[in-house]
Amino acid sequence: MTMRATLGAGCYWGTENYVKNTWGKDGSVTRSAVGFMGGAGANPSYDAVCSGRTGHVEVLDVDLADPKGAGPAVVYENLIRYFFQFHDPTTMNRQGNDAGTQYASVIFVYDEEQRRIATKVKGELQAHLDAGRLKAGFAGKTVSTTIVGAMPFYAAHNSHQDYLQKNPGGYCNHRIRFKAWPAVPEL
């Protein structure tokens, strides 16, 4: 299984901050870069992506490690669960005040094991929402996150890397929407 993950969850500054500096503080993230994936054309500029003309999504691209020896699949599944906790996956191309195709909720997968895990976790979240087991403050009731094959990654300008570390008061619309996954009742 590939230990690389690329996630679109709205503004990439917040995605990087939550994944790298919160979830990955135990050493699970060994490399991170914000940038763009999924559109037409190579090396798009930030302005071109924000115009909506390229179709690229703002993403966080990370390499993962397994510091606790749980196995790559467990590390990846834990990341995907966390991904759904810090952004609103029910809004198509929108996170809070940020609207546009560049703010889509997307999981770019590198192999079939990642696709299986992402699909499973997305389905579990939808089941929790359908059953009313989760009060997450999402705008909608249907998970709109797409799961697609990874495409070429284009790193954003250096000034955008580690932006919220460099600018602690900078804009971030992400927040933890629920602290833990609900237990699934036994049948």
Q: Which residues are catalytic?
A: 11
Alpha-carbon distance of 138 to 26, in angstroms, equals 28
Select from 48, 23, 22 the least CA-distant residue to 35: 48
* Half-sphere exposure for 176 (CA within 13 Å, toward CB): 10
Contact call for residues 87 and 9 (beta carbons, < 8 A): yes
Both tokens assigned to 133: 């087991």
Q: How far is CA 106 from the centre of its chain?
A: 7
How far is CA 34 from each of CA 13, 37, 72, rounded to the nearest angstrom? 7, 10, 22
